Structure 1
């Protein structure tokens, strides 16, 4: 007894339906609906044969319509146009095979996009691919009445609708996989460039790799270094990129061990750049290296910033972020030969060339008197003379003896300069 609300074909009903190809089919078992598990009928088989015979004609019509309606297709290089033509042909062939075996699972993305090289996902955007697929589907849809066997028009249209949905999912999957692969490759490439800069091995090859990542060789570059936060490094890197986009700066960034390193291009103020990017860094000091001319010279900025990060423990009250050059005395005490050289060459040597009076006055003021009047008494000069000479020290070095932090830097520079001078004398 038939239950209410169900449809059950008897063998007699199925035989009658098979005998008349034009008879409408209600049951999926009758076979004109793609996805059916039962046998297909002669109408379906005739439609499949018509599809096979029309495949080349349909592909040519699809290409012609793309050339007519899609401006981006007309200006593409011949090689890419050829690949798109192959994709269109593969799509129609895959639909035919899919329609031939409606119950069999099909790997549509492999059937359709397997003929195209991976590089095509770079040359053709997702939007353009969607337009290409839509155009091809429309061409097939307009030819349904000619292709379908009598009585099979609705089944073919229904199958085409389902296939269009499947090909849309397949298209999204192909581009998602390409984006993931490209993102993983770009991340590895970026990490190689950052590591080369930090280790002092950056060369023309790294400049080319950076260019492939979108780095357009800005005139001024700085390197910012700090501690990397716990958690997913990819999220940290993406947060740096977002902050850089907001600040309109270029960055190359990576997590090297426990350090987060950011190469910044397009800024004339390292501290301002560091402040714009500081949020993703973990708690603790963040050091900005000096400005340099280009990516290859960024090694000097990276080494200064890294040395500054190591030396920050000696200056607990250092601002965050801090410039690497503001940490010269701490870096020198930590054994940084570059910092020692800078203190001697940028502070001691200029004072030495400016005359012995400046060195003598600065030495007495910092190391013995600690006041204008006291220094004046020890030097047997007027306090205004001491005041004038200290202003000259500021003009020559850029560091003010009256500022506590600057005075510390100047004093370390004096000690290192004397040591250097003693070493030079002993070597002769």
Structure 2
């Protein structure tokens, strides 16, 4: 008979005259225990993943297989049957232990074994109707399994997104305790990986999963969450090495952020220390508007003057203590830096003012670059040095 397209999926297409269906169902029910035993034996023989499961998990899968075979009897009899009910006998935990692919293996193997057993245990006249029925039934069961896993994936994705957002929020608030590290671990994060935090504008169409896949292609692990108008990303993985190399890797993801700067905090040793990187990245992101001529992806250390002027005490201390402190430890280098900056970065004018040879000035400028990390001959870095000298002297005056 031709099936009716309006017929419910839970009710089978008649495959045999109604008068003979009761006998067909009765004969199949009589051999269902043997079919179930053969199914479990086939799972054990054909699928290594099944043999590696613990006893409880194997027991639950056996029950699912048994329920599926019993459900076929109910379905074949024309009674109402919901295919998803097959999987309700197993606890929800099973969805995490058994993948969708393994569930498909379970359905396929059960179907194949039932077909084989029909050919061996039931009369020849019963076989065409039963084989057609099991094909229709297995299709409905497969769709039911896919629907269950799809809902589980959506729920798990939403839950993971909430956990991810909570981890980001804790890092930004400098509240990274053991519970935060534990939550990050549930997302598969390596809590011992080197870490940096990047902050940029959030696009209205930003898709975090697409960004995560793109980050993976450049060797970056990522946790990310929008916070208002900004997108906060924690990066780890093999591409988080030196600040410059890490910046190059993150720059490849710039198009996922809104137009404007993406500021990267310093690289730290682990997620537990990520709040330091987040604080500096946030400070740099706020101050970046004062240097619109700068690169679109930049390190928070490149914005020390702007951060200091915007009220970042940490940036002022870095300039005054670290940069100026390195210069102040060598009186000749400090004097050369000040004179070079005062004379418009002219080597000859500096040499004349200090009564030294230009080569001496050249050598001292090289040493200044080595100990501070900033080159006085570069206009931008000269500005940073000038700011450091000013703040350092103010700090020493107050002391």
Q: After TM superposition, is the score higher than 0.5?
A: yes
Residue 287 of structure 1 corresponds to 263
1:310 aligns with 2:286: yes
1:361 aligns with 2:336: yes
Residue 400 of structure 1 corresponds to 375
Residue 57 of structure 1 corresponds to 34
Runs of 4+ in 1 over 6 A off after TM superposition: 25-28
Aligned 8 A contact 1:264 1:273 in 2: no
Residue 397 of structure 2 corresponds to 422
C-alpha deviation, 1:382, in angstroms: 4.9
Residue 60 of structure 2 corresponds to 83
Residue 9 of structure 1 corresponds to none
Deviates more, 1:148-157 or 1:396-405: 148-157
C-alpha deviation, 1:58, in angstroms: 2.4
Residue 7 of structure 2 corresponds to none
| 157 and 372 in structure 1: CA distance in 2 versus 1, 3 angstrom threshold | closer
- Residues 273-299 of structure 1 deviation map (CA, whole Å, 9 limit, x = unaligned): 221221211111111111111111111
Q: Tell me the matched-pair count.
A: 388
C-alpha deviation, 1:385, in angstroms: 4.3
| 290 and 171 in structure 1: CA distance in 2 versus 1, 3 angstrom threshold | same
For 1:223, which of 180, 194, 197 is the aligned residue? 197
C-alpha deviation, 1:333, in angstroms: 0.6
Residue 250 of structure 1 corresponds to 221
Residue 168 of structure 1 corresponds to 142
Where do 1:26-105 residues align within 5 Å? 34-35=12-13, 40-41=18-19, 43-102=20-79, 104=80
1:239 aligns with 2:210: yes
- Residues 182-222 of structure 1 deviation map (CA, whole Å, 9 limit, x = unaligned): 22222222222122212211222222222222222454221
Counterpart Cα distance in 1 of 2:49 and 2:3: 45
Aligned 8 A contact 2:264 2:298 in 1: yes
Find the residue that maps to 1:114 and give its secondary structure: helix
C-alpha deviation, 1:377, in angstroms: 4.8
Where do 1:169-184 residues align within 5 Å? 169-184=143-158
Runs of at least 5 residues in structure 1 that lack an aligned partner in the other structure: 1-24
Counterpart Cα distance in 1 of 2:364 and 2:106: 78
Find the residue that maps to 1:201 and give its secondary structure: coil
C-alpha deviation, 1:117, in angstroms: 2.1
Where do 1:194-205 residues align within 5 Å? 194-205=168-179
Find the residue that maps to 1:143 and give its secondary structure: helix
TM-score, normalised via structure 2 length: 0.89
Residue 8 of structure 2 corresponds to none
Find the residue that maps to 2:272 and give its secondary structure: coil
Greater Rg over alpha carbons, structure: 1
| 407 and 45 in structure 1: CA distance in 2 versus 1, 3 angstrom threshold | same
Residue 128 of structure 1 corresponds to 102
Residue 18 of structure 1 corresponds to none
| 281 and 153 in structure 1: CA distance in 2 versus 1, 3 angstrom threshold | same
- Taking only aligned residues, the RMSD between alpha carbons, in angstroms, comes to 2.7
Counterpart Cα distance in 2 of 1:188 and 1:352: 49
C-alpha deviation, 1:59, in angstroms: 1.8
Residue 12 of structure 1 corresponds to none
Counterpart Cα distance in 2 of 1:39 and 1:212: 55
